[in-house]
Amino acid sequence: MTPVPNTPGKRHPGPPGFFSLSLSAKLVASFCSLFSAVLVLMLLAGSYGIPLTGYQGRISLMKAEAFRGLELIADLKRSRLVNWLSERADDARQLAALDIVRLSRALPGPRPEGGPPSGAVPNDPALQSVLDSTLRSKPIYTRIRLVDAAGRRILVSTDPGELGNSLAGRRFVEGALENRDGYLSGIEHSPSSGRPAFFVSHAVIDPKGGLIAVLVMSIDAEDIIRPMLHIGDGLGDSGEALLIGQGGRILTSLKYPLAAGARATALEYRATDQPALLAAAGEEGVSESVDYRGQRVLAAYRHVRLSSDEGWGLVVKRDEAELLAATRREAAYTLCIGLGGLGAVILASVLLSRRLTRPIRELDATARDIAAGNANVRAPVTAGGEIGRLALAFNFMLDKLHNRRAELEAAVAGRTAELDLSNRALVEKIADLERAGEKIAAQLAEKEVLLKEVHHRVKNNLQIISSLLSLQAVHVRDPHDKELFEDSVGRVMSMAMVHEDLYASKDFSKVGLREYAYRLSRRLAANRFAGGAVRLEIEVQDTLLPVHQAIPCGLIINELVTNAFKHAFPGAKGGTIGLSLSEVEGGFELRVADDGIGMAEDFDWKNAQSLGLTLVASLVGQLHGEAALRGGGGTVFTVTFPK
Amino acid sequence: MTPPQRLFSWITALLAAGLILVFAGRLDVTPGFPARPDPAPSPIYEGYDFGEPGGPVVNCAVQPLWAPTGAITELLRRDAVLAGAMSELGLTLRFFPFLKGADINAYLFSGRLDAMVAGDMPALTAAATTDVVVAALVNQGFISVLAKRHMQLAALRGKTLGCAYGSSAHFALLRALAGAGVAQGEVKLAFMDIGEMPEALRGGRIDAFSTWEAGTTVIRNANPDFAVIHRVAYSGYLYFSGGFARARPEAAKALIAAQLRAMAWMKDKRENLLSASVLALEAAKRFTGSDLGVSADEYAELVKSEFLDFVPLPIIPENALAPNGQLRQAFVFLANHEILPAGADWDKTALRFDRALIRDVLGNPEKYRLGDFDYRLASQ
């Protein structure tokens, strides 16, 4: 693993987002996240019907209990209604079976159904008395009447005002006739009062089995049946039982106004809520729905069967709001307490996290101060435990670092003093050397001046010697001797020219041979053979030769070129003398050639009596070189010598 | 991992575990059931000999397990007046017990049955499918939906529900669910016979089931912890094959008259009702090989509450065929749910509910001997 360099004052980049927050912020965020997660989990579970919270469980339990209570009351109400209906059916059956009814002269004998209505209705006081006494003994009935089976007209009634009225087409008449038995028709508008009334009817059959009449007994629905639906306090203030007919028509008035504020009228208003319609259609169960007021209710619904083609829907309901009011208040209170508690917990967590993280923050501030260069700060030890021990250890570490730093600084100071001393000595030595250098340079300059002066004086002296020899030669009559003098002058001048070049040059030890060769050759050609037809061709590399080689080399050139001028072209014959000097491997090659008369093939120049050639041989030896002569057509003299 | 990272990991794990728990409760772990039951007839019926069609035998299909028709059909089997009337017509009655109306229809469609009793859904299916004459009511009862605990029907959304395919309980269950706002596609139907349902519910293979009487009482006697969460009114009918009713109308009327006699005899005295109930329970035991699990008193109460108390005469109510009537609405519902064959026509179906036969019988009580009761109670 590569260690991370711990550079003071430089922060290491960490993960972005949450993990870049301060420790206290992380603690608060973590706590709030955990709390929120638990809340979300509970809400999610609640939405799926899993009662993780007591509230959801209580709501479910309360609803289940409420449904059981509603079902119990609905079953009791239905049972009561069924029994009551059975009693009414028995009333009609018993009355219709009485001989005083079946044999009454007020009723027609058997005749074809649908025949013409009877004419005058014969009176039967005994039958009338039975009906009246029955009405008095059973005051729930509002009217009792006997209807002609054929003509559907009222033959006998406890209400004399309706005698003769036709009840054709009324279900309580037709049903009884079709069944030849009892018939419970449900609730219809009374043909006499127009009020909602319940009709129980029964066929009257004569002893021969003939269908002669229908007994119809009516009961005021609002006065008798509606009170049977009264629930009392069992279902709270909002509890209500409804009776619904086929098609959803309400059979009794409602406890509350409709949603729009109007009062619903029995047999006219049609319920649209699900329990009412289902119950009327023959279903039984429980449901949560919205009732005629638009209120959410819990309802149990039952079907009360009256006959094969008639049934009532019975709905027992209670407002959900009333049922759950106490629980919801409690839940709201709990929620307020919970929210307050949550706020308090958040506040406490903020304060607590700040309190808990204060020593760490102080430690962090101390570390930042130290990183900024303030090494004298120390972390305050305000807490015990791990953080207190950490602060103590941190301070201990700082103290040790401080001491180590002081020791280091002392060592550095001592070493620095030693270095200062050494430095000063070195500076003095350098100054001495500079002074010595300056002195050497001055001495060198002085030496150069002296050397230059020496070369100048030597040149002057040589020129004086040359002048002296030239003056002396004027007085020599013998041409041979005169020539000897002139040769000597040439030799001296060739040496003087070397010294002249030396003091004129910057380097007093070397002579530029190219310039020297040109000057020397031109002087020889001008002084000794001016106006001749001999042409001098010079090809000399620009080479510097040291003095000890330049002087012999110059004397050799002087001797060989002079010899060429003197002996190669006798009788003013024209020609060419070539002079060349070039660098060859490891040295130089000097070549003097002419196209003159040349020398004999067997001429031994090294043993010749000529001073010039003797001198040449001597000078070649001085240069540690070699010389070669080729005669014949012209002469070529080649001298090679090392560098 | 730093402490805050570990804390976050724990929170994430807690949330994930919670979500798994929440959704696990919604997972449907119910094993699959066939979308349709095996169309092959039950092996129970393999030994039935229906004879040659058109022969001097009237094949009657009955349902011994169905109260109250078990009592009525057992009295028909023992009605000497009916036997005499058939004999005068040169006919012999034979009774074949079946488990449910859908099975009866299968044999009706193959022309092997002449008279039968079944619930409203099989009767409607038969009337919409083939030539039949639906002549009389034999039941006005309730189909019950049972579950392991009290609940609203809406809570069955997403659950697996058991029912007998093609039965009135099948239709009633769908109708009840529709009334509660639960579409057919929101539940999984598991088709099975009534005898399998209690074990399936207890074993968790289904979440609720629908059944008719006496099944409801039998199952609740054996499983008192089961709750009836919903009831749906339904009706049952006596119907004839069209060929039989037209070819032998007097035989059909004799059967209707026998039903009227049976009803009147049971209404006349409590002991008659109990006798008929005992006969019905014995017939059920002969059919299934075991006691039905209800007492004669309980069965008698079922006969009353499911029929006799509300039906003085078994005339099919005219308003049941009206536009908003029970049968018309049932027809529309079945057609909409594609349970009826495609192209089923209501007008044609309604014409097959015939009130004329029973009116004719009621109009001639002496001819059809409605007041003569002669039951050979010990002879069968």
- Nearest residue of A to residue B323 by CA position? A247
Query: Which residues of chain B does A349 touch, with a Cβ-Cβ cutoff of 8 Å?
Result: none
* % pLDDT > 90, chain A: 27
Q: How high is the pLDDT of residue B83?
A: 96
Q: How high is the pLDDT of residue A17?
A: 59
* pLDDT at residue B71 is higher than 90: yes
Q: How high is the pLDDT of residue B36?
A: 54
Q: How high is the pLDDT of residue A341?
A: 81
Mean of all residue pLDDT scores within chain B: 88
Rounded to 10 degrees, what is the CA torsion of B226, B229, B234, B239?
-30
Contact A446/B at CB under 8 A? no
Contact A309 B19 (CB under 8 A): no
Query: Which residues of chain B does A284 touch, with a Cβ-Cβ cutoff of 8 Å?
Result: 142, 230-232
Contact A114/B at CB under 8 A? no
Contact A61/B at CB under 8 A? no
Quick one: how far is CA A635 from the chain centroid?
100
Instruction: Please tell me the least confidently modeled range out of A46-60, A126-140, A397-411, A486-500.
Output: A46-60
Please state, in angstroms and rounded to a whole number, the distance separating the CA atoms of residues B249 and B279.
28
Please state, in angstroms and rounded to a whole number, the distance separating the CA atoms of residues B76 and B93.
10
Å between B29 CA and nearest CA of chain A: 17
Please state, in angstroms and rounded to a whole number, the distance separating the CA atoms of residues A128 and A121.
13
Contact B24/A at CB under 8 A? no
| Gyration radius of chain B's alpha carbons | 24
| Gyration radius of chain A's alpha carbons | 77
* pLDDT at residue B53 is higher than 80: no
Quick one: how far is CA B302 from the chain centroid?
14
Q: What is the DSSP string of A79-93?
A: HHHHHHHHHHHHHHH
Contact B229 A285 (CB under 8 A): yes
Q: How high is the pLDDT of residue A9?
A: 42
pLDDT band, residue B18 (cuts 50/70/90)? low
Residue A261 neighbours by CB distance under 10 Å: 7
Give the residue from B241, B235, B213 showing the smallest Cα distance to B61.
B241
Contact indicator for B256, B361 with CB cutoff of 8 Å: yes
Q: Which of helix, strand or coil describes residue A208?
A: coil
Contact A87/B at CB under 8 A? no
* pLDDT at residue A112 is higher than 60: no
> What confidence tens digit (pLDDT) does each residue in B98-124 have?
998 989 999 999 899 999 999 999 999
Quick one: how far is CA A590 from the chain centroid?
89
Mean of all residue pLDDT scores within chain A: 84
Q: How high is the pLDDT of residue A115?
A: 41
Among A40, A278, A309, whose Cβ lies nearest the Cβ of B319? A309
Contact A67 B150 (CB under 8 A): yes
Query: Which residues of chain B does A280 touch, with a Cβ-Cβ cutoff of 8 Å?
Result: none
Please state, in angstroms and rounded to a whole number, the distance separating the CA atoms of residues B365 and B303.
24
Contact A457/B at CB under 8 A? no
Give the residue from B236, B264, B234 showing the smallest Cα distance to B333.
B234
Rounded to 10 degrees, what is the CA torsion of A282, A288, A294, A295?
130
Residue A548's identity, in one-letter code, is H
Contact B147/A at CB under 8 A? no
Of A107 and B25, the structure prediction assigns the larger pLDDT to A107
Give the residue from B169, B238, B240 showing the smallest Cα distance to B210.
B169
Please state, in angstroms and rounded to a whole number, the distance separating the CA atoms of residues B44 and B111.
19
- Chain B 122-141, residues with CB within 8 Å of chain A CB atoms: 137, 140
- Over A100-159, what HEC string results? HHHCCCCCCCCCCCCCCCCCCCCCCHHHHHHHHHHHHHCCCEEEEEEEECCCCEEEEECC
- Chain A 325-354, residues with CB within 8 Å of chain B CB atoms: none
Contact B13/A at CB under 8 A? no
- Residue A138 burial (CB < 10 Å; 0-12/13-18/19+)? middle
> What confidence tens digit (pLDDT) does each residue in A493-542 have?
888 888 888 777 777 778 888 888 888 888 887 766 655 678 888 888 88
> What confidence tens digit (pLDDT) does each residue in B312-349 have?
889 998 888 888 888 898 899 888 888 888 889 999 99
Contact indicator for A145, A157 with CB cutoff of 8 Å: yes
Query: Which residues of chain A does B320 touch, with a Cβ-Cβ cutoff of 8 Å?
Result: 309
Rounded to 10 degrees, what is the CA torsion of B181, A68, A284, B150?
60
- Nearest residue of B to residue A288 by CA position? B152
Contact B312 A182 (CB under 8 A): yes
Contact B320/A at CB under 8 A? yes
Query: Which residues of chain B does A275 touch, with a Cβ-Cβ cutoff of 8 Å?
Result: none
* pLDDT at residue B5 is higher than 80: no
Instruction: Please tell me the least confidently modeled range out of A134-143, A241-250, A513-522, A616-625.
Output: A513-522
Contact A18 B8 (CB under 8 A): yes
Contact B363/A at CB under 8 A? no
Please state, in angstroms and rounded to a whole number, the distance separating the CA atoms of residues A616 and A638.
11
Residue in the block written with tokens 């579970």: A45
Query: Which residues of chain B does A288 touch, with a Cβ-Cβ cutoff of 8 Å?
Result: 152, 154
Give the residue from A304, A615, A53, A360 showing the smallest Cα distance to B18.
A53
Contact A309 B318 (CB under 8 A): yes
Q: How high is the pLDDT of residue B202?
A: 93
Å between B36 CA and nearest CA of chain A: 26
**Taking residues A88-117, what's their average pLDDT?**
75
Query: Which residues of chain B does A67 touch, with a Cβ-Cβ cutoff of 8 Å?
Result: 150, 152
Please state, in angstroms and rounded to a whole number, the distance separating the CA atoms of residues A292 and A271.
7
Contact A308/B at CB under 8 A? yes
Q: Which residues contact A568 (CB under 8 A, 6 or more apart)?
A: A534, A575, A577, A594, A595, A596, A597, A598, A634, A635
Contact B319 A48 (CB under 8 A): no
Give the residue from A218, A227, A235 showing the smallest Cα distance to A252.
A227
pLDDT band, residue B41 (cuts 50/70/90)? low
- Residue A591 burial (CB < 10 Å; 0-12/13-18/19+)? middle
* % pLDDT > 90, chain B: 67
Give the residue from B164, B144, B162, B149 showing the smallest Cα distance to B199.
B162
Residue B139 DSSP symbol: E
Q: What is the DSSP string of A454-507?
A: HHHHHHHHHHHHHHHHHHHHHT---HHHHHHHHHHHHHHHHHHHHHHHHHHSS-
Q: What is the DSSP string of B120-131?
A: HHHHHHHHHHS-
Total length of chain B: 380
pLDDT band, residue B1 (cuts 50/70/90)? low
Of A573 and A419, the structure prediction assigns the larger pLDDT to A419
**Taking residues B204-213, what's their average pLDDT?**
95
In A58-75, which positions are buried (b, 16+ CB within 10 angstroms) versus exposed (e)? ebeebbeebbebbbebbe
Give the residue from B274, B253, B264, B353 showing the smallest Cα distance to B313.
B264
Of A451 and B241, the structure prediction assigns the larger pLDDT to B241
Four-residue CA torsion sign, B153, B156, B162, B168: positive
Contact A48 B26 (CB under 8 A): yes
* pLDDT at residue B149 is higher than 50: yes
Contact indicator for B184, B24 with CB cutoff of 8 Å: no
Contact A33 B8 (CB under 8 A): yes
Contact A287/B at CB under 8 A? yes
* pLDDT at residue A587 is higher than 80: yes
- Mutate which: B232, B263, B308, vs A, most A CBs within 10 A: B232
Please state, in angstroms and rounded to a whole number, the distance separating the CA atoms of residues B256 and B247.
16
Please state, in angstroms and rounded to a whole number, the distance separating the CA atoms of residues B281 and B295.
8
Residue A383 DSSP symbol: -
Residue A507's identity, in one-letter code, is D
Å between B145 CA and nearest CA of chain A: 10
Query: Which residues of chain A does B145 touch, with a Cβ-Cβ cutoff of 8 Å?
Result: 285
Contact B4 A19 (CB under 8 A): yes
Å between B252 CA and nearest CA of chain A: 20
Please state, in angstroms and rounded to a whole number, the distance separating the CA atoms of residues A491 and A636.
21
Å between A282 CA and nearest CA of chain B: 5
Contact indicator for A302, A314 with CB cutoff of 8 Å: yes
pLDDT band, residue A48 (cuts 50/70/90)? low
For residue A28, give the H/E element and its range.
helix A23-47
3-state helix, strand, coil in chain A (%, to 5): 55, 20, 25
Residue A261 DSSP symbol: S
Q: How high is the pLDDT of residue A388?
A: 79
Q: How high is the pLDDT of residue A466?
A: 84
pLDDT band, residue A113 (cuts 50/70/90)? very low
**Taking residues B345-366, what's their average pLDDT?**
93
- Mutate which: A43, A68, A283, A357, vs B, most B CBs within 10 A: A283
In degrees rounded to 5, what are phi and psi of residue A450?
A: -65, -40
Contact B18 A41 (CB under 8 A): yes
**Taking residues A589-608, what's their average pLDDT?**
84
* pLDDT at residue B127 is higher than 90: yes
Query: Which residues of chain A does B150 touch, with a Cβ-Cβ cutoff of 8 Å?
Result: 64, 67-68, 286
pLDDT band, residue A426 (cuts 50/70/90)? very high
Q: How high is the pLDDT of residue A524?
A: 80
Paired tokens of A265: 């009228």
- Nearest residue of A to residue B320 by CA position? A309
Query: Which residues of chain A does B318 touch, with a Cβ-Cβ cutoff of 8 Å?
Result: 309
Please state, in angstroms and rounded to a whole number, the distance separating the CA atoms of residues B170 and B221.
22
Please state, in angstroms and rounded to a whole number, the distance separating the CA atoms of residues A370 and A398.
9
Q: How high is the pLDDT of residue A109?
A: 60
Query: Which residues of chain B does A86 touch, with a Cβ-Cβ cutoff of 8 Å?
Result: 309
Residue B306 DSSP symbol: I
Contact A238/B at CB under 8 A? no
Four-residue CA torsion sign, A180, A181, A186, A187: positive
Contact indicator for B308, B267 with CB cutoff of 8 Å: yes
Q: What is the DSSP string of B193-235?
A: -GGGHHHHHHTTS-SEEEE-TTHHHHHHHH-TT-EEEEEEEEE
Contact B310 A286 (CB under 8 A): no
Please state, in angstroms and rounded to a whole number, the distance separating the CA atoms of residues A122 and A106.
5
Please state, in angstroms and rounded to a whole number, the distance separating the CA atoms of residues A457 and B125.
157
> What confidence tens digit (pLDDT) does each residue in B239-248 have?
999 999 999 9
Query: Which residues of chain A does B229 touch, with a Cβ-Cβ cutoff of 8 Å?
Result: 285-286
* pLDDT at residue B31 is higher than 80: no
> What confidence tens digit (pLDDT) does each residue in A318-339 have?
999 998 888 888 878 878 887 8
Contact B259/A at CB under 8 A? no
